[in-house]
């Protein structure tokens, strides 16, 4: 069995929580709509939604740039075909639940599938300031105390009177 150097072991220990957090933050695809012929799965990201549309019978993907159109909250959204996936832009939309309508052209018909997607809410800046503000306050207090102690120690003693 190979031995790890202390530096490699330390690096592995430091990177393990970061790798676990990255794996946990990857959005999972969830089924948002289905019909007798199609299933729509979506994974929500920061500024977009990735749709995977498959046939119910054989799980074959629906592919092609002109086969799918979408609307969020009744407003058309830009959509781009990327292989077997479709990417919808959600820039400018508020976080929270939104109705999603997808029109899929397949087998000579146009099918409307509806569901709800929940977009992530933007981070609350006040909460972040409060969270980190207390730590900054304590650091500032310690720095002020250290500076005051240094000034007191550097202060010259008054000359002693000699009689």
Q: What is the pLDDT of residues 29-44, one digit of tens each?
A: 788 888 899 999 998 8
| pTM (two decimals) | 0.59
Across all residues in the chain, what is the average pLDDT? Answer: 79
Region of residue 24 (left: phi > 0; alpha: psi -120 to 50; beta: else): alpha
Q: For position 128, what pLDDT does the model report?
A: 63
Residues 6+ apart with CB under 8 A from 45: 27
Q: Is the pLDDT of residue 16 over 90?
A: no
| pLDDT tens track for 51-84 | 999 999 998 888 877 788 899 988 998 889 888 8
Q: What is the CATH architecture assignment of 28-119?
A: Sandwich (2.60)
Closest CA to 90 of 112, 105, 75: 75
Q: Quick one: pLDDT band at residue 24, thresholds 50, 70, 90?
A: very low
């Amino acid at each position: 069995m190979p031995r790890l150097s202390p530096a490699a072991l330390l690096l592995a220990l430091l990177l393990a929580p970061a790798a676990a957090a990255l794996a946990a933050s990857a959005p999972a695809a969830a089924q948002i709509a289905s019909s007798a012929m199609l299933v729509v799965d979506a994974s929500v990201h920061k500024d977009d939604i990735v749709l995977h549309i498959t046939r119910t019978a054989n799980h074959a993907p629906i592919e092609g740039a002109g086969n799918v159109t979408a609307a969020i909250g009744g407003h058309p959204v830009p959509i781009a075909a990327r292989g077997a996936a479709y990417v919808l832009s959600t820039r400018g939309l508020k976080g929270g639940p939104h109705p999603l309508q997808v029109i899929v052209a397949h087998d000579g018909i146009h099918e409307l599938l509806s569901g709800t997607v929940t977009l992530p809410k933007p981070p609350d800046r006040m909460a972040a300031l409060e969270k980190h503000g207390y730590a900054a306050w304590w650091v500032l207090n310690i720095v002020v105390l250290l500076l005051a102690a240094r000034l007191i120690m550097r202060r010259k003693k008054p000359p002693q009177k000699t009689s």
